[in-house]
Structure 1
């Protein structure tokens, strides 16, 4: 009996020791792209036992009972997952990205926020949505994507620009919004320099909360972020491209030769005149649209490499884009080369250096467009009864109307070329002073070198044509009298120009963020900014280019006698802006949010009496879906917003407050017209800021977790409009 009891005791003790034995679980954590994820928190459910993954995504955790233990895996930006160990010693996990749209990061002035916390009227377009569009131009990324943003095409030719308007027109002057690319000021006319495939996101600030950016925020702000690398990830290579053929989607329905002849005979016959066509059975005649429009190639190729280590992330990319015009083919071509570097380095645990460099080379050829005298104007007005070429092989003259010329001949005689080299970049040093304060210094630059050349050969489009530069079809040059009975020939000409533009921006700001007692969140930003923009250019026109040939189209090759008729021009300007800004934000339980902004700007465009301006903004939001009384199953998120603020605008000519001798100074002395100087704009040292006051009331809803609805009501008033009234020819500026 004693032996049996002893045996039972030994077995029980062994069982207890086996049950109490701990097990070490090891594994590796990856994301949905098979890259390892460092810093993932792993906790044994129901205990405080836990660990985090190392830089290679590996972890090791000792659990009490491998059969019963459940591990919880969590990391910012990914869905929290629970997994039973079930007696295993190895457990690999793939984390799924968080699908909560409310946690989506929104880039705001000098910082970031989440969609849930934003108190202003903002909108975001992601890089994934942009890539799906396969668009050649950056401005098209916003077309139809963001409410309140209108994109109007200034030109349909390849490389043509567009005008961007946020919430309509608000000034007599420049209505373009402020565009920032990785924090660098960008002109809307230069958006074609960006490669859409390089874009990570586009954030649009539409209401007065954009006032953190000061004087240029009156027309809204567009913040573009380029792609960045990921820490602790292997090099990732992406290659994409496409090649296509463009065709006109629709052509105008115009008269053919027989219809044109019949109608013209009827018109002449009704007025009692002799009919111009003895025989109207002329068939289709010349279809000028078919002759001008053509199939045009478009192609785009991109390559990028991104990745990172523990302390450094990188993203490098390059692209080639080329597009011929459906009118003119390579005569209206646009070609663009892009290079991009985005590098972030943690110099120490608290110091981060961000370097961004964007390079673009553009080559664009254009034809006359938009209005009377353009190629398409001549195309739709050319007569179907006239052939493209006459029997002698020359282009026909279309002599029935003096202001219509042969569009095929016009394209052949047009030589407009422009080249742009653009370098944009910034160096940013962020110092994390402690868990609450971060100090950032930023130096940004935007440099552009713009060259252009236009060759105008001697042409003859027919008798009486205003576009003629020769006096006959033999292309003899006209004679210009430069003195009493002294004449020189005015032959083919070439116009060449070179302009340089440089923006420099130096900014320093301090960000503060702290949460008190888990419920009270406070954020603040205090900073200063110095912005300088300058440009200069030189141009010249030379006549009598040898052999009437583009091969000699250079100013240095001109044969103008004594340099007469040749001319030159130049320009130079510089403007500066000095600013300071403050923003304070408070949130309680992420339900009640309030923000206040104050910006002070000083501009060289105003006189000493009104050089400085103060521009305040206040905004608030209430996330009432977080209230206890809210219990609507169909609505997962609901927020009310309101904002009111004042923004300034200084987009006028430099030194507009000063008097200038820019009046019409043309005088007659001894029957000779002489150009001189005359009083133009009057002095106005009290010229002051144009201000835009904007009230916005909005609401954001998420329905059934996958449908978002945004509503905005706004009132936008602009006061003290800046414009230049005409000077009276009688009273002058008195």
Structure 2
């Protein structure tokens, strides 16, 4: 019998049974195995990341999927990392295909990354929870990422996009501080702006900090239908930056300092040329002399300071600094991601004495995974922007700009050059704006304070099935304060050393306005995404609602003295207070995306929208869209042919069609409105204030509709080093507003018939892009370009009528279906008259007075109808639209990188639009100066003092003070119209990134310095010194600035 009581028998030696011994040994083996596994969890590995040519890839991200450790490669492409022995590494770098490599117990790993020219725009964010790979996109969508935007040093985010998006047109018609380009998609009108899922206006896009933008996607076709109302002109989808999972803390500080100069601006004539033009006028007209030869010669010889021409251009336009700085931090753990940013920009004005514009931006994006299924996010962004200038009516920059040619070159801004005493420098005192400053004119200040809070929550109900909600609150407060001082003009008496008042300026004004914009947006979605074998499905249904209120208060007063900051009852002259037209919109959305083997792709979407604008029964509309795509290169027959597989690596055919809604008409036009406190009557001897009806109500206004067809093709050649895309589009716009003319109502009603949805227009066009990316030795380079053509045509018109065939041809061109819209008509020129003899023998009566007003150098017009008389019956179509976006826009881009040196250049251009010379650039105003360009290129007397001395025929007619726009030589004609073409260098930048082996020693992972320039030159087919983007026909717009910046970017 075996005794198992060890403690009762001290001398007993216990022997473990054999079976138990086996168990113990097995347990020890298992324990040792655990110890071995534990040791495996902490192995140290090293490795090298190279490209397909064996060159080191610097700064590549290396992340272990299981241990969550990560690092980046050094200047040799090397890395060291502590990982588990069975871990998997993810290696990624911009411009290369991401690779996953199992560790498999190896201590040294070499990874070769392959370039991917499609990677930069591989993911396209189209909104409502969908981010698609470029390969699966079936709509016409252009996109740009943060890396490209970082090289565009623009004051506004819109400016950073110029030239980078095919099918998106920009035109910056003025360069005042804080100004942004106008943006249109395919010349269709103002697009809808979506920022982080919330509808905003273009002002919010303009004033984003471009450093905070992660990506921009532009929906150009029917794919915009899911955004409903206001999306018919296309949609710009902005996504701001966010932190990433398991991202180490990254701190970035970047900024620049630069100088601005006017790029192109017509210069006023010098004093001697201004006086010569006056003398020539008096010589030809035989009027008494106001300038003697002796006086004129003093100006020519500049005998003293009083006879030295004053350059108003140099005085008014000055160089001005601008500066920008941004600091941001980003990072993340397994559960929390964050991105925080603070930026400030200061852009001083280029008009003397103008402080200009400044803006401070804040962005905070935080995402938290409460559980593996439940995620929340909070995004807060805000800005404070301020415009600060001298006191001018309505902050009118044009007043001092006009001073450049209103003010005479024989005058100076101050009496005796003493800045305390403004002088009259123009024929009319109120035009003497060249001296504007805060001391004399007062001050104008306009400030916006804006904050937006977005809250999101997402819950995964089942695998692939998610519920998501977004709530956004946006508040903008605007305060304007304008104090316009009364001022006096002086003359200096040298003998008595006294400044005498000769005239008093405008009356004092104090303007105050306060405006508040408040918007609430809510969005609830249910989405499902899954893959079944070769079938991939993504679907979403949802609801969106938006409500906004926009109250405003305005007060105008006439204070008794300058400097009084308040408006009291005694000085109040105008006061308005309004609730600001509350607006409410809502819609139901649905979308289905399906693809088979990433080869056959289809997308269906629709939106059922309702608007507060219309009466019951007409408020709601359904707007569907559909698109298909076929990736031919994924077919087996394509892959089986080596030539096709190796040379054409991407071929996708796309098509889309949809109906999009447009909000037309004024709100609540079906209800009779009243203007209160308008009019009145005397009743029982007393004045009773009354109210008036605003107009007739109508039930016949509802949604306009745009039917949009797009057919496109995407191509990739030579392993996608060469990429091309082409899209053709049609837009049929119906339900445009017009009034019936054939329904008569009594005149006693006092109103015309209201508008209804009666007319239509249509547009046709295309956009295309080509990009080549490659590497030669150590040089990486990219060359690309894009072009957009879009033109509008007249569609159906309500019962078009014409009084004659001529009326049908000329004046009613807008009523002929199939005609181009925006066509310029004018007389057709036929050179210039070379002599008095030619004028006398001219068989056509051009001036309606037997040609007695004509002079050598004047424009000669063609008698198109042969009746011997020049009039509007001789007008013909001679040009494209003026003042708007050109019909053809194009851009070219170049990028180079070589051993830490990088170079970027963006060129933009346009053609097929008309510029018209007017005012300052067309004739010599009797009460102002003339442009130096006009004088230098005009016809002149050989001797300005002798009418019989003959003429030197110039490019333009005689510049005479007695001629104006009604003179026949200045009639509208192609003599004064130019069909423009230009190419402008929009951005250029050269930078250098310091070697990481230098910077890593002081805790800096990347340090880059650069020099950049904007608007440095423009090639154009007109020799007038104007910026080709401006629309002001007299050239007197605030010009776009030439800018040179010196900047840096440092990552810690």
1:386 aligns with one of 404, 411, 422? 411
In 2, Cα distance between equivalents of 1:535 and 1:250: 39
Question: Is 1:350 aligned to residue 373 of structure 2?
Answer: yes
In 1, Cα distance between equivalents of 2:195 and 2:228: 17
Shift of 1:675: 7.2
In 1, Cα distance between equivalents of 2:255 and 2:661: 43
Shift of 1:363: 1.1
1:657 aligns with one of 667, 670, 686? 670
Question: Is 1:37 aligned to residue 54 of structure 2?
Answer: no
**After superposition, where does 1:536-555 map in structure 2 within 5 Å?**
536-546=551-561, 548-549=562-563, 552-555=564-567
Q: Contact 1:186–1:446 at 8 Å: present in 2 too?
A: no
Deviation digits for residues 2-34 of structure 1 (CA, Å, limit 9, x no counterpart): xxxxxxxxxxxxxxxxxxx99969446999647
**Residue of structure 1 equivalent to 2:283:** 269
**After superposition, where does 1:31-110 map in structure 2 within 5 Å?**
33=59, 37-39=63-65, 52-54=66-68, 58-61=82-85, 79-80=98-99, 89-91=106-108, 99=116, 101=118, 104-110=122-128
**Residue of structure 2 equivalent to 1:717:** 732
Shift of 1:280: 1.3
Deviation digits for residues 493-532 of structure 1 (CA, Å, limit 9, x no counterpart): 2111111111111111111111122x11111111111111
2:623 aligns with one of 611, 615, 619? 615
1:428 aligns with one of 451, 456, 462? 456
Matched residue of 1:277: which SS?
Answer: coil
TM-score (norm 2): 0.58
**Residue of structure 1 equivalent to 2:909:** none
2:232 aligns with one of 193, 218, 225? 218
2:343 aligns with one of 310, 313, 319? 319
Taking a change above 3 Å as real, the CA distance of residues 228 and 453 of structure 1, as seen in their structure-2 partners, is: same
Question: Is 1:629 aligned to residue 637 of structure 2?
Answer: yes
Q: Contact 1:179–1:185 at 8 Å: present in 2 too?
A: yes
Deviation digits for residues 217-245 of structure 1 (CA, Å, limit 9, x no counterpart): 11111111111112112211101111111
Question: Is 1:400 aligned to residue 427 of structure 2?
Answer: yes
Deviation digits for residues 422-444 of structure 1 (CA, Å, limit 9, x no counterpart): 11121110111222211101101
Taking a change above 3 Å as real, the CA distance of residues 476 and 635 of structure 1, as seen in their structure-2 partners, is: same
1:301 aligns with one of 322, 325, 331? 325
**Residue of structure 1 equivalent to 2:1035:** none
Shift of 1:271: 1.4
Matched residue of 2:586: which SS?
Answer: strand
Matched residue of 1:721: which SS?
Answer: strand
Question: Is 1:532 aligned to residue 547 of structure 2?
Answer: yes
**Residue of structure 1 equivalent to 2:386:** 363
Shift of 1:649: 1.6
**Residue of structure 1 equivalent to 2:780:** none
Matched residue of 1:191: which SS?
Answer: helix
Structure 1 stretch 99-108 or stretch 524-533: which is displaced more?
Answer: 99-108
Structure 1 stretch 278-287 or stretch 671-680: which is displaced more?
Answer: 671-680
Matched residue of 1:408: which SS?
Answer: coil
1:732 aligns with one of 719, 744, 750? 750
Taking a change above 3 Å as real, the CA distance of residues 642 and 27 of structure 1, as seen in their structure-2 partners, is: farther
**After superposition, where does 1:465-476 map in structure 2 within 5 Å?**
473=501
Taking a change above 3 Å as real, the CA distance of residues 522 and 83 of structure 1, as seen in their structure-2 partners, is: closer
Matched residue of 1:527: which SS?
Answer: strand
In 1, Cα distance between equivalents of 2:686 and 2:190: 44
2:478 aligns with one of 441, 450, 453? 450
Shift of 1:119: 0.6
Q: Contact 2:139–2:654 at 8 Å: present in 1 too?
A: yes
Deviation digits for residues 29-77 of structure 1 (CA, Å, limit 9, x no counterpart): 99964765242xxxxxxxxxxxx54456754347xxxxxxxx9855798
Q: Contact 1:689–1:720 at 8 Å: present in 2 too?
A: yes
Deviation digits for residues 482-502 of structure 1 (CA, Å, limit 9, x no counterpart): xxxxxxxxx622111111111
Question: Is 1:145 aligned to residue 172 of structure 2?
Answer: no
Q: Contact 1:246–1:298 at 8 Å: present in 2 too?
A: yes
Q: Contact 2:488–2:505 at 8 Å: present in 1 too?
A: no
Taking a change above 3 Å as real, the CA distance of residues 540 and 198 of structure 1, as seen in their structure-2 partners, is: same
**Residue of structure 2 equivalent to 1:488:** none
Q: Contact 1:607–1:684 at 8 Å: present in 2 too?
A: no
Shift of 1:723: 6.6
Q: Contact 1:541–1:568 at 8 Å: present in 2 too?
A: no
TM-score (norm 1): 0.82
Matched residue of 1:407: which SS?
Answer: coil
Structure 1 stretch 287-296 or stretch 75-84: which is displaced more?
Answer: 75-84
**After superposition, where does 1:238-249 map in structure 2 within 5 Å?**
238-249=252-263
Question: Is 1:280 aligned to residue 293 of structure 2?
Answer: no
Taking a change above 3 Å as real, the CA distance of residues 345 and 590 of structure 1, as seen in their structure-2 partners, is: same
Q: Contact 1:663–1:681 at 8 Å: present in 2 too?
A: no
Shift of 1:571: 3.9
Matched residue of 2:457: which SS?
Answer: strand
Q: Contact 1:419–1:450 at 8 Å: present in 2 too?
A: yes
Structure 1 stretch 406-415 or stretch 649-658: which is displaced more?
Answer: 406-415
Taking a change above 3 Å as real, the CA distance of residues 537 and 95 of structure 1, as seen in their structure-2 partners, is: farther
What is the aligned length? Answer: 658
In 1, Cα distance between equivalents of 2:727 and 2:377: 36
Taking a change above 3 Å as real, the CA distance of residues 678 and 263 of structure 1, as seen in their structure-2 partners, is: same
Q: Contact 1:24–1:61 at 8 Å: present in 2 too?
A: yes
RMSD: 3.5
1:515 aligns with one of 512, 531, 542? 531
- Unaligned residue ranges in structure 2 (runs of 5+): 1-35, 50-57, 71-80, 301-307, 492-499, 754-1052
Shift of 1:597: 0.7
Taking a change above 3 Å as real, the CA distance of residues 568 and 209 of structure 1, as seen in their structure-2 partners, is: closer
Taking a change above 3 Å as real, the CA distance of residues 357 and 277 of structure 1, as seen in their structure-2 partners, is: same
Taking a change above 3 Å as real, the CA distance of residues 372 and 585 of structure 1, as seen in their structure-2 partners, is: closer
Q: Contact 1:184–1:424 at 8 Å: present in 2 too?
A: no
Structure 1 stretch 400-409 or stretch 704-713: which is displaced more?
Answer: 400-409
Deviation digits for residues 80-109 of structure 1 (CA, Å, limit 9, x no counterpart): 366998xx8523677859735268111013
1:679 aligns with one of 693, 703, 709? 693
**Residue of structure 1 equivalent to 2:247:** 233
Deviation digits for residues 519-548 of structure 1 (CA, Å, limit 9, x no counterpart): 1111111111111111112121222253x1
Shift of 1:387: 2.0
Taking a change above 3 Å as real, the CA distance of residues 254 and 668 of structure 1, as seen in their structure-2 partners, is: farther
Structure 1 stretch 52-61 or stretch 364-373: which is displaced more?
Answer: 364-373
In 2, Cα distance between equivalents of 1:537 and 1:626: 58
Shift of 1:651: 5.5
RCO higher in structure (CA 8 A, sep ≥6) = 2
Taking a change above 3 Å as real, the CA distance of residues 61 and 686 of structure 1, as seen in their structure-2 partners, is: same
Matched residue of 2:462: which SS?
Answer: coil
Question: Is 1:341 aligned to residue 341 of structure 2?
Answer: no
Q: Contact 1:375–1:410 at 8 Å: present in 2 too?
A: no
In 2, Cα distance between equivalents of 1:568 and 1:149: 39
**Residue of structure 1 equivalent to 2:1025:** none
In 2, Cα distance between equivalents of 1:672 and 1:164: 55
Matched residue of 2:708: which SS?
Answer: strand
**Residue of structure 2 equivalent to 1:136:** 155
2:208 aligns with one of 180, 194, 208? 194
Q: Contact 1:579–1:600 at 8 Å: present in 2 too?
A: yes
Taking a change above 3 Å as real, the CA distance of residues 576 and 659 of structure 1, as seen in their structure-2 partners, is: same
Structure 1 stretch 402-411 or stretch 606-615: which is displaced more?
Answer: 402-411
Taking a change above 3 Å as real, the CA distance of residues 118 and 399 of structure 1, as seen in their structure-2 partners, is: closer
In 1, Cα distance between equivalents of 2:112 and 2:415: 73
Structure 1 stretch 378-387 or stretch 666-675: which is displaced more?
Answer: 666-675
In 2, Cα distance between equivalents of 1:127 and 1:288: 42
Q: Contact 1:72–1:80 at 8 Å: present in 2 too?
A: no
Taking a change above 3 Å as real, the CA distance of residues 495 and 729 of structure 1, as seen in their structure-2 partners, is: farther
Matched residue of 2:383: which SS?
Answer: strand
Taking a change above 3 Å as real, the CA distance of residues 366 and 392 of structure 1, as seen in their structure-2 partners, is: closer
Q: Contact 1:311–1:346 at 8 Å: present in 2 too?
A: yes
Shift of 1:158: 0.7
Q: Contact 1:29–1:94 at 8 Å: present in 2 too?
A: no
Deviation digits for residues 153-184 of structure 1 (CA, Å, limit 9, x no counterpart): 35421112443211213xxxxx4211111112
In 1, Cα distance between equivalents of 2:619 and 2:205: 31
